Structure formats: structure tokens, C-alpha cells
Structure 1
Amino acid sequence: MAQFEQGDALKAEAIVETLPLPAIILSDSFHVIYSNNLAKTFLAEQSDLLIDNNSLVLHSSEDIVSLEATIALKQSKEILIKRKDGGPAWVCHVSPLSQSHEDGELSLLEVLNYVQNKIPSEKMIMEFYNISSAEAKLCVHLLEGLSLKCIANKTNKSELTLRTYLKQIYQKTGFKRQGELISNILITFLR
């Protein structure tokens, strides 16, 4: 991998600043190399992701492990970062960058659902994706950051039934993973 030179840093900062979402360039040790203005605003408004001593801090050890694993994969992937207040999880897209830095390999983290942070309604999801009401309700619960087990308890449906709904959603939408589905719904409705 190429070393992250001063000129590269300026180019990367200029590119990241044009992104329409909060974006942070960070090393594999979570050292923050650069964050755009939207990221600075986002970080100031909530306490689920913080920058302390130029390092990204997450409040959940599960989220730390998830982000570490995603960065180690060196593939673009969506992850969920839980919120302390129990609100909808932050959906983050993590992409490896081709440059390295003295602090290690670099990745770009973007918060996909920050712009409005409003979950689309069941009706909107149902009509846009041409799925059933039950399938759209499942999507809303997933967007709220709930696990299938929690959704099953909340809706008095079995996890098997919910997994069947999820498979039907995948067939109708062409998505193969839950993260893809959630990201697409958020990107579609939060523009």
C-alpha cells in the first residue's frame, strides 16, 4: 500500500469534505486522521461516537469488536453502532482506503442515517419495495436497531416467522443481507 503523504492527505480531506454524510478517516487503531464538518457536527450532537485524544471512542465493546473486524476485513461493509438512548442504531459504512498512514491502514467511516435520522414509515417502505405490511413492519423494527429476537418478543411472532419474512423481502428486493437492506432503505428515504 502507498504511504499517506502530505499531498494525499490534502486530497483526501478535500474529497471527504464534499461527502454529503458525516465521514471520518481513521486508522486501524481508531486514530482519527480527518473528519469532515458534518462529522464534527454529528459528533457534537450525540454521545454514541466520540473523538477523545484524536481517537474514535465507542461506548459498546460489541461495537468496538464489530468495527475492528470490519476494518480488518479490508472490504466495504455496513455496521450498526448502538445508541445509548435506545434510539435507532447508527448505520455506518466502512470502506478501506488505498493509502496507509504511520498509524496503520486507513478506512473511511460514513454515518448513513444521520441526515434526518427519521425512520421511514411502514407504508412508505411497503409501497416503495412492493412488500407486505408484515414485511414492512419488520423493516421498520430492523431500522430501529432491534434484533430478530427482540422483534419476536415485541410482536409476539416467532423468530422463524420473522426469518421467513426476511427471506421473502430478500426475494422481492434482490438484497442478500440484512445490512444491504437497511442501508438501501436509509439511503433511499434519507436523501
Structure 2
Amino acid sequence: MISEKEDQIIHMIYDAVLNQQWKRVLSHIATDMNADFGLISFLDQLKPSASFTFCYNSSKSIAKAMDSMEVKLLNKQAHGDLMQFHGIGNATLIDWLPYSSYAEDSPEKRLYDLTIKPSGIRFGNVITLEYEPYCCGFAGIYRKTNCPPFTKQDCSKLENFGLHLRRALQIYRQLTLIKKQAQDCYALLNHLNIAVIVVNSQYQLIYSNHIAQEILQSSHILGLDTNNRLKTSKRQQNELNQMIRSVFKGPSIQHIGGTMMLYKQPDEPLLQLSITPFIQNHTLNYLNSLSDQAVIFITKAKQLYQLSTDYLIKTYNLSLREIQVCELFINGFNLDEICEQLKITKNTLHTYFRNIYIKTSLNSQAELLYLLIKTSIHFEHIPSKIQNE
């Protein structure tokens, strides 16, 4: 039998789906359970814009730290095993004091130094609301050092609130995603029939469309590390890092971005990555506001890009031979391989590229790569309504 106060809090939880008064919900839960601090946190590594944090009774600096991607990832690293062990909907009691003696570079110690120590809290009563490989959410209430620890009875009460929090937050997340999609500068990328990832200048994933998310969740050769950066096999990680890094160095280096194959075995390519910066003059309208970001297009190794021949002829007056050169280039063939495929000399190939640059008003391989990816047949399935908005 729940008390009248608990019943009121449950009603507040569902009201917060629309009025977004999650801090008020946390304040009532914390007060009802004699806690000093309350927190709801949700992390989505594949779609960071869908992550959120709500804090009660914390300073602005602590609230900002709690909402950072760094702290969310540290929380997942430090408590992921605990979340999986106890399962969704079950409360866990935590004593933060031992975290102060962990190794300096451990996620527990870094989390302690960034949030626990400055806030003066020690005891936590935390419930897992969701947990998947790249996604987790939890709610917690906390007490300071001079307070008694939480009890099993406190766990039962939080689990009752947690049941309703989980249901309400699922609805809230769906509504939030719908609203964000209407304003999202990446909305167009959701309609492409090709996997797309966007990373920032720290090489962290900040966007992935649904096709890329499926690849990251199922692939054994491409995923995310604990800092939300792309990771692959040890023998190819350095090449991937260098190619992404080249995007942010800009004109100071000879080659910006490019294509690379990811291999399961040396003779068994599985995925092809095409890496390029967002280019202001040639990018899609929805992406004009983006800067300091790199886009990575992913295809299966045997799935070659096919260019829209009619479009390239009508728009840029490219010859069929020039389009052949472009199609080999976009599929990762180097200069020698293109010459071999087309039975031409390097001088002839350089002439083709010079003419292509003139006709398209481009100046670099990175610009050409981005233009060609946009004009591949994968990009011809975007609903006209989206294109014209």
C-alpha cells in the first residue's frame, strides 16, 4: 500500500512527460526519502543529441559536469557491470568513499574527482532504467557524508518510483526525439539509403543515422570506444585515426580524408569508409550551419557506389569517360589502379581530373569525394518533401 505522498509523486512523474518538471519530481522523491541530491541521466552514444540529464539541488558547475558526455561515459564505464548484474528496475546501494582510493586514471576515480568530491555526497541509491551496449539510463538519490546510508526499505521505495519513471521517460524520450527531428540539421541524413556518421574535432561521434546505428551495433570490426570514438582492429586503428585527423588539419596537408577498407582478414574486406569534411559551398542545405565536423559514409565492401550518370552530365557536363574515372575514384581505387582499369597513362588520368575539377568548380579530392557521394544513387531516394523544405 503506497502513501498519499507517494501517490502524488507518481502523478507528478507522468505530468512531467508534458510539463518537463523533472527537477520538481526529483525534489519530491529526494525529500520523501531524506536525500540531499537527485539525478536522472540518460546516455545514447549513437545519438548523443538524445541524451539528457536532470539534477536536483546541485550547483551549476556540478549540473554541467553531470550533463557532459565525459561524465556520462565515465558513469557507464564505472557502473555498467553493476547495472547489468542488478538488472533494469532494481535499485543498487553505492558508497562513493572507496572511489577516492582507485587508480588516478580509472573511471571510478575520475568520476569521483569530477562530481562526487565537489558535491560532498557519499551514499547513493540508484536504479537502472535502461541498459544496452551503447545506451543506458538511471535515476538516483544521494546523501552527504554526515548522513546515514540508505536501507533496503529505501531501495524498495525507489524501485516503485523507478517503475513509473521508466514508463514516463520512455514516452518523454519519444516526444523529445519527434520535436528534435523537426528542428534537427541532420534530419535529411535520416532519409539516406547509406550509413552516415558525423564526428567532431575530438573524433567523437555526434550523429549516426539508423543504418549506421545498425552497423555499429552488429559489426565486429567497427564500433565505439569508451570515449565515444570510432574503433576498429588494432592493425587498422592508426590509419582510421590519421584519415579522420586529416579532415581537421585542412589545407595544410596534401590529402584530406579519403577512403579505406576495413578487413576481417587481410584478404576479406567487409566495410568501406569514405571520410570527408563538411564543405560549406557544396554541402546539402541542411548542413550549411555545420563546421569542424567530418562525415563518414559506410558501405559494405562489395557494395560499390554507382553514380547518377544523367545528373552528372546535365549538371556538370561530364563526359562518360570522366564519370568512369569518378566512379572508380569514389570506390577507393588509387591512381595506378584507375589507370590499369581504364588502360590509360597517368598523364591522361591527370588530364581527366583537371577537367573534372574545372567543370565542377572544385579544388581538392576531398571536395570531389563529397560531391560524388552526394550524387551516388544512394542519395536519390530522399523524399521530395524533405528536399524542398
Shared fold, TM over 0.5: yes
Deviations 1:16-73 (A, max 9, x none): 7646153344563x455x4445342242365564213343114533332121233355
Evaluate the alpha carbon distance shift between residue 31 and residue 37 of structure 1 in structure 2; reply closer, same or farther with a 3 A threshold: same
**Does the aligned pair in 2 maintain the 1:23–1:36 contact within 8 Å?**
yes
Query: What is residue 223 of structure 2 aligned with on the other side?
Result: 50
Q: Which residue of 1 aligns with 2:244?
A: 67
Counterparts of 1:11-30 in structure 2, within 5 Å, are 15=184, 18=187, 20=189, 22-26=196-200, 28=202, 30=203
| Residue from 148, 152, 170 that aligns with 2:357 | 170
CA shift, 1:168, in A, is 0.8
Percent identity, aligned pairs only, is 19
The more displaced of 164-173 and 52-61 is 52-61
Is 1:184 aligned to residue 371 of structure 2?
yes
Contact 2:309 2:323 in 1 (8 A): yes
The residue that corresponds to 1:90 in the other structure is: 273
Residue identity matched to 2:354:
K
What is the correspondence of 1:122-133 to structure 2 with a 5 Å cutoff? 122=309, 125-133=312-320
- More contact order relative to length (CA 8 Å, sep ≥ 6): 1
1:136 paired residue number: 323
**SS at structure 2 position matched to 1:83:** strand
Larger relative helix fraction? 2
2:296 pairs with one of 111, 134, 142: 111
Going from structure 1 to structure 2, the CA distance change for 1:69 and 1:111 (only over 3 Å counts) comes to: closer
Please state how far the C-alpha of 1:121 moved relative to its aligned partner. 5.2
User: CA 1:160 to 1:47, structure 2 compared with 1: closer, same or farther past 3 Å?
Assistant: farther
Is the Cα–Cα contact under 8 Å of residues 63 and 81 in structure 1 kept in the other structure? no
Structure 1 residues 66-115: Cα deviation after superposition (integer angstroms, max 9, x where no partner): 2123335599x9622412355884223446xxxxxxxxxx964433466x
Report the counterpart of residue 120 of structure 1 in structure 2. Answer: 307
**Aligned length in residues:** 170
Structure with the greater alpha carbon radius of gyration: 2
Structure 1, unmatched stretches of 5+, are 96-105
Query: Quick check: 178-187 or 163-172, which moved more?
Result: 178-187
Using structure 1 for the length normalisation, give the TM-score: 0.65
State the TM-score, normalizing by the size of structure 2.
0.36
Deviation (angstroms), 1:166: 0.5
Equivalent residues in 2 for 1:32-51 (5 A)? Answer: 32=205, 34-38=206-210, 39-44=212-217, 46=219, 49-51=222-224
- Specify every segment of 5 or more residues in structure 2 that has no aligned partner in the other structure, as ranges: 1-63, 71-175, 191-195, 263-267, 279-290, 381-389
Provide the C-alpha distance between the structure 2 equivalents of 1:88 and 1:123, rounded to a whole number of angstroms.
28
What do the CA deviations read for 1:163-189 (whole angstroms, capped 9, x no partner)? 100001111221111221221122134
Distance 1:107 1:73 in 2: 10
CA deviation string 1:121-153 (max 9, x = no partner): 556534442111211110110111111111112
In the aligned structure 1, how far is the partner of 2:240 from the partner of 2:321?
29
Q: 1:91–1:111: 8 Å Cα contact kept in structure 2?
A: yes
